[in-house]
Chain A
Amino acid sequence: MSRWEVKIAGFGGQGIILAGYLLGKAAAVYDRRHATMVQSYGPEARGSACASQVIIADEPIYYPYVTEPDVLIAMSQEAYMKFAAEVKPGGLLLIERDLVALDTGRSDFVRSGVRLHALSATKIAEELGHRIVANIVMLGFLCALAPIVSPSGMKEALRSSLPKSAIELNLLAFETGYERGLQVGYNLAGNPS
């Protein structure tokens, strides 16, 4: 696919903007493609609704907003409720398993053909050392499930963007999320639904 439209949403403090930034940077700087990221967040610095929109393409990107995402990463219930219905048929919907309840009382909430995967990213991050890297676990998960950016580009983006002391943990978080993604992919391949 030559064009990816991604929405990452959650609440402030979850590293939503950073995740979008890293994804875009991996594409723009290391995969040498066009990438654009716009962010929206509430007036408070922490705890409010927060979203970043990333578009990756081979040609210049004019309209920078995502209306029908190929990928949605929902890190909160609010994000899921607000954006899940937008995901394109055939698109990818990744949710933070422990923060999003899927039963919304509506059967038509998510469009048909959307691939939905849940991951306890925050719990995994806590086990690795700090919940702050839940966003990076999710990025690893995404990279394994969709050829959106190269894992090597993603790792370069991590290395060049984060403070030295944080790189190791973040790389570990990425690898862990990536492996979980591969397992899902393996399961998918083995059990076509």
Chain B
Amino acid sequence: MKRGPAVLTGVHFFNGDVACAEGALAAGCRFFAGYPITPATEIAERMAERLPEIGGTFIQMEDEIASLSAVLGASWAGVKAMTATSGPGFSLMMENLGFGYMTETPCVIVNVQRGGPSTGLPTLVGQGDMMQARWGSHGDYETIVLAPSSAQEMFDLTIAAFNLSEKYRLPVLLLSDAVIGHITERVVIPAEEEIPIVNRKKFAGPREAYLPYLPDEDLVPPMVAAGEGYRVYITGLTHDERGYPSTSPEVQERLVRRLVEKIRRNARDIIRMEERGVEDAEVVLVAYGISARVAYRAMELARAAGRRVGWLRLITVWPFPEERIRDLATRVRAFIVPELNLGQIVREVERCAAGRARTIPVLRPGGAVHDPREILAIIEETFHD
């Protein structure tokens, strides 16, 4: 067998998990460490098959903690790296996730969400890890979380996740769900040269001049890899610009503020969403992942009945598109938020609406998606109030 292509340009019929793996390869990922878990296993299986074809490395680790550790190590060797898991494994990754934010290590973590808590519903859909993705590791930090809604987006947003992680030097999370991981759809993979790729900013100056945590104007410090002669010291302890540990409150202030600010200040560059019919809407459905597709049907049904209903799909969930929701809250009557948890992202919508528009949750704890008619009934209620 000859070496396979890294980018499978063409039209495919892929499930979301396979599309995600292909997106990673197209983004330049050459290292995958993982542990089998439903419904994310197909990502590992695809990587196990494909990475050797293109000279990359696949390793199945002893658990999810080790998987993320190995990914972080590979990233410091200068290689784009990814792991994929579901709720229970995601929980195990929380400590090293924090290490990734603290040490500003680019990598991508995919969570194909299933119903929880605990072992929950291994084969069935859930969206219960949205807040864990934001707040799961201890301490203060900001993160980037993307939520794909189709197999095509499992491909596209995995590339976006790598690009954002390289640009802002942090772990980026792809929060998918069991339906989007397993849905099989047309996936169009463009020609290699048409796929925009971002690589981490590297430091190229002399060894003496390098301070591993001295940021540029964009608040992101240029990176080097182990073995390049810079003799870096990288620690999860609070550290100064040299990377040296410090117990000074001033150093803590400077470091943690920067970790947070580098994302907040660039929120406009990071946030993406898709909107339909929002311009004239009295009520806007806000949803993400598979729930956004169900909500779309509800909107179609409501529009057919003459209701002015809009649809806002979150592609970036974190940082949350506060500005947009605040803006809409001044001119719509209500937001309706269907999600497969008992109230997570709806709290953000409510916070941003700040009483200027009603926020109505439509919640299920996972196991099955909503019936569009169930959402339609809530829409109708808002028009009768």
Give the B-binding residues of A (Cβ under 8 A): 20-21, 24-25, 28-29, 32-39, 43, 61-65, 157
- The chain A residue with its CB closest to the CB of B151 is A36
Whether B369 lies near A28 (C-beta < 8 A) is no
Query: In residues 1-25 of chain B, which contact A (Cβ within 8 Å)?
Result: 11-13
Whether A64 lies near B183 (C-beta < 8 A) is yes
Query: In residues 163-188 of chain B, which contact A (Cβ within 8 Å)?
Result: 179, 182-186
Q: B293 near A: Cβ within 8 Å?
A: yes
Q: A32 CA to B13 CA in the complex, in Å?
A: 11
Q: A8 CA to B180 CA in the complex, in Å?
A: 20
Q: B256 near A: Cβ within 8 Å?
A: no
Contacts of B294 in A (CB 8 A): 63
Q: A102 CA to B294 CA in the complex, in Å?
A: 34
Q: A32 CA to B297 CA in the complex, in Å?
A: 23
Whether A64 lies near B293 (C-beta < 8 A) is yes
Q: Which of B11, B123, B185, B369 contacts A65 (CB 8 A)?
A: B369
Q: B372 near A: Cβ within 8 Å?
A: yes
Give the A-binding residues of B (Cβ under 8 A): 11-13, 123, 179, 182-186, 293-294, 296-297, 300, 369, 372
Whether A37 lies near B11 (C-beta < 8 A) is no
Whether B13 lies near A24 (C-beta < 8 A) is yes
Whether A36 lies near B184 (C-beta < 8 A) is yes
Q: Which of A35, A39, A61, A63 contacts B13 (CB 8 A)?
A: A35
Contacts of A64 in B (CB 8 A): 179, 183, 293
Q: A43 CA to B122 CA in the complex, in Å?
A: 10
Q: Which of A29, A38, A39 contacts B12 (CB 8 A)?
A: A29
Q: A34 CA to B293 CA in the complex, in Å?
A: 15
Contacts of A62 in B (CB 8 A): 293, 296-297, 300
Q: A62 CA to B13 CA in the complex, in Å?
A: 16
Whether B184 lies near A37 (C-beta < 8 A) is yes
User: Chain A nearest CB: distance from B364 CB in Å?
Assistant: 15
**12 A–B contacts from the bound complex (CB under 8 Å):** A28-B185, A32-B11, A34-B185, A36-B183, A36-B185, A37-B13, A37-B185, A38-B179, A62-B297, A63-B297, A63-B372, A157-B13
Whether A29 lies near B13 (C-beta < 8 A) is yes
Contacts of B184 in A (CB 8 A): 20-21, 24, 36-39
User: Chain B nearest CB: distance from A39 CB in Å?
Assistant: 7
User: Chain A nearest CB: distance from B273 CB in Å?
Assistant: 16
Q: A43 CA to B123 CA in the complex, in Å?
A: 8
User: Chain A nearest CB: distance from B37 CB in Å?
Assistant: 16
User: Chain B nearest CB: distance from A96 CB in Å?
Assistant: 23
Q: A38 CA to B186 CA in the complex, in Å?
A: 13
With a 10 A CB-CB cut-off, give which of B179, B186, B300, B372 has the most chain A CB atoms.
B186
Q: Which of A28, A33, A38 contacts B182 (CB 8 A)?
A: A38
With a 10 A CB-CB cut-off, give which of B11, B185, B296 has the most chain A CB atoms.
B185
Whether B293 lies near A63 (C-beta < 8 A) is yes
Contacts of B13 in A (CB 8 A): 21, 24-25, 28-29, 35, 37, 157
- The chain B residue with its CB closest to the CB of A25 is B13
Q: Which of A34, A39, A65 contacts B186 (CB 8 A)?
A: A34
Q: Which of B11, B293, B296, B369 contacts A29 (CB 8 A)?
A: B11
User: Chain A nearest CB: distance from B12 CB in Å?
Assistant: 7
User: Chain B nearest CB: distance from A133 CB in Å?
Assistant: 20
Whether B293 lies near A39 (C-beta < 8 A) is no
Q: A24 CA to B293 CA in the complex, in Å?
A: 19
Contacts of B185 in A (CB 8 A): 24, 28, 34-37, 61
Q: A8 CA to B368 CA in the complex, in Å?
A: 19
